[in-house]
Amino acid sequence: MSFFCAISGEPPQEPVVSVKSGNVYEKRLIIKYIHENGTDPTTGEKLEESDLVTVQGNPKNAAPRPPSHTSVPALLQLLQNEWDALVLSTHALEQKHNATRQELSYALYSLDAANRVVARLIRERDASREAISNVQASMGLTPSQPANGEEDVEMSEGGLPAEISSQIDETHKTLSAARKKRKPPQGYATVAEVKTYAASHTIPSLHSASPAGINSLALSKVNPSQFLTGGNDHVVQLYDRGTDKVLASLRGHSKKVNHVAFREKEGETTLILSAGADKVAKVWGHDSASGEYIPKATIRSHKAELTGLVVHPTKTVFGLSSADKTYSLYDMTNFNQIFRSAPSDEAFSSIAVHPDGTLFALGTPTSTIHIYDVRTGAIAASLTPSDATPFTVNTLSFSENGYHLASPNSQSTVAVWDLRKEKTAHVIDLGDDFKVNKVLYDHSAQFLSVAGSQGARVFANKSWEELLRLDEGGEVSDIAFGEQGKEIWGATGREVRIWGAPA
């Protein structure tokens, strides 16, 4: 039941009742009226404060709404005001958004203009250097040496520093002499054993489901149960098969990781290397105090996606290939760039190092394979498949004897090149639906593995008999031979599968 003040006509906050007239008043209003007049405002009778009785209300009852909110027109007006305020706020946000877009457009235009100017200046500089070099050569003068700096390293064609070259020569002599006499190690897997290999273990969900996929796989030679994977989720994972645990999740790339590798050298810190589509190479080192891998270096010397990563047999140098038409070499002691090739006519899509350490092979998106002398950067040979249809040479592998090089010969065939004759010695046809992702010789040079869109296959060297077909997990993006060739590891989607002899 509701009632109203006889003076104000509104619901009272502190209601009181006159015992003489029975009218309800707001307490503060009637007391003020009594003090001024001493009578009841409605009847005119004499009235005192003692004649007022306080009305006790329920404290849980909500206070009445203001009169302006109790009618439909008032509510509609209130909603209209709220809507107008919202529309005005949205309009202001749209204006701010448009202004920000215009600022961003101007910034991008300025950046593009700056890049064009820089590119033009670089071309003019190179033309000037070439002209000066030609003039000096015609006059019989020795070309002047530019000042030291990163740019000078990029343009250097004079080869590696003397100390690095001597290390490479020494390693070449040691490995070359040992290789000529080398036979498969005792206990190494045989052809008959490889034919019996079957799926033995699967390690699932190594990387995030979005974006899913493993692009690269590398096994540790010091601890055969540990391996690396590089994924589309921008992460490098170090995993221990023996304990089925992730030992390290190494982050730092902003795009997919294309290649991963170990640098394991006796007496030196174990290093983990990666190269990504974000133009960046990362190096992590094992910290003996904490037992974790910590960042050692971030390399941003290339201007396009990194397409290859190799650790040189000296274990003191590693190389990168890039779609920016150059490759580069780095010292692992200080991670400084020690060589940068002159720009090629073609982008580089893969890289491999000769087992003796004197040659680099680099693939291109136009089917050609260039072979360079590591020490001087001079090109030693160019190999071009007979197939007229261009394709990307996305993988390369030297045989252990150093005489052969495996590479895609088309999207669905693999060529084995005889480097002594610079000719194709054999072509393996994998079927029209097969797309080659990786070719790899094993350490004993008895087997050649091919990973691709329809699983993986293993062939016997020289006879090229197909020994094994691994197609349980679908597409295999990368493949590796385990210790003594007793296992074959493959990256399939988010999984790493292992095949070996039946138990």
At 55, which CATH number?
3.30.40.10
Does residue 80 share a domain with residue 8? Answer: no
Domain stops at, among 32, 60, 88: 60
User: Residue 39's domain spans which residues?
Assistant: 1-60
Does residue 15 share a domain with residue 56? Answer: yes
pLDDT-derived band at 376, boundaries 50, 70, 90: confident
Please check the confidence at residue 427 and state whether its pLDDT lies above 70.
yes
The pLDDT score that the predictor gives to residue 262 is 95
Please check the confidence at residue 1 and state whether its pLDDT lies above 70.
no
Mean pLDDT of 279-308: 92
Does residue 89 share a domain with residue 38? Answer: no
Considering the domain boundaries, does residue 25 fall inside one? yes
Domain stops at, among 141, 167, 183: 141
Rounded to an integer, what distance in angstroms lies between the CA atom of residue 299 and that of residue 281? 5
pLDDT-derived band at 65, boundaries 50, 70, 90: low
pLDDT-derived band at 208, boundaries 50, 70, 90: confident
Question: Between 62 and 272, where is the model more confident?
Answer: 272
- pLDDT > 70 in the chain, percent: 90
Does residue 186 share a domain with residue 101? Answer: no
Domain count, the chain: 3
| Tokens matching residue 16 | 């009181």
Considering the domain boundaries, does residue 66 fall inside one? no
Going by C-alpha positions, the residue among 395, 396, 391 that lies closest to residue 410 is: 391
Rounded to an integer, what distance in angstroms lies between the CA atom of residue 476 and that of residue 460? 20
Does residue 215 share a domain with residue 103? Answer: no
Considering the domain boundaries, does residue 269 fall inside one? yes
Does residue 407 share a domain with residue 352? Answer: yes
Does residue 165 share a domain with residue 134? Answer: no
Considering the domain boundaries, does residue 148 fall inside one? no
Q: Dump pLDDT digits (tens) for 105-156.
A: 999 989 989 988 988 888 888 778 777 766 655 555 544 444 333 333 333 3
Q: Edge-to-edge strand order for the sheet containing 52-54?
A: 24-26, 15-18, 52-54
For the stretch 187-192, contacts whose Cβ atoms lie closer than 8 Å and that sit 24 or more positions apart, written own/partner, are: 187/484, 188/444, 188/446, 188/484, 188/485, 189/446, 189/484, 189/485, 189/486, 191/446, 191/460, 191/467
Does residue 409 share a domain with residue 317? Answer: yes
What's the chain's average pLDDT? 87
What CATH number corresponds to the domain at position 346? Answer: 2.130.10.10
The pLDDT score that the predictor gives to residue 2 is 63
The pLDDT score that the predictor gives to residue 416 is 95
Going by C-alpha positions, the residue among 168, 192, 166, 184 that lies closest to residue 401 is: 184
Domain stops at, among 141, 168, 197: 141
Q: CA 459 → CA 188, 364, 369, 465, 487, distances in Å?
A: 16, 25, 23, 5, 15
Going by C-alpha positions, the residue among 61, 15, 70, 21 that lies closest to residue 42 is: 21
- Angle at CA 267, nearest 5°, toward 263 and 272? 20
Does residue 440 share a domain with residue 362? Answer: yes
Considering the domain boundaries, does residue 431 fall inside one? yes
Does residue 172 share a domain with residue 121? Answer: no
Question: Between 503 and 70, where is the model more confident?
Answer: 503
Q: Dump pLDDT digits (tens) for 160-185.
A: 888 888 888 888 887 777 666 567 78
Q: Are 53 and 19 in contact (CB under 8 A)?
A: yes
Does residue 395 share a domain with residue 316? Answer: yes
Considering the domain boundaries, does residue 191 fall inside one? yes
Considering the domain boundaries, does residue 67 fall inside one? no
Q: Dump pLDDT digits (tens) for 465-495.
A: 999 999 887 899 999 999 999 999 999 988 9
pTM equals 0.67
- Residue 274's DSSP bridge partners are 260, 282
Considering the domain boundaries, does residue 328 fall inside one? yes
Placement of tokens 């004197």 in the chain: 358
Please check the confidence at residue 396 and state whether its pLDDT lies above 90.
yes
Does residue 97 share a domain with residue 204? Answer: no
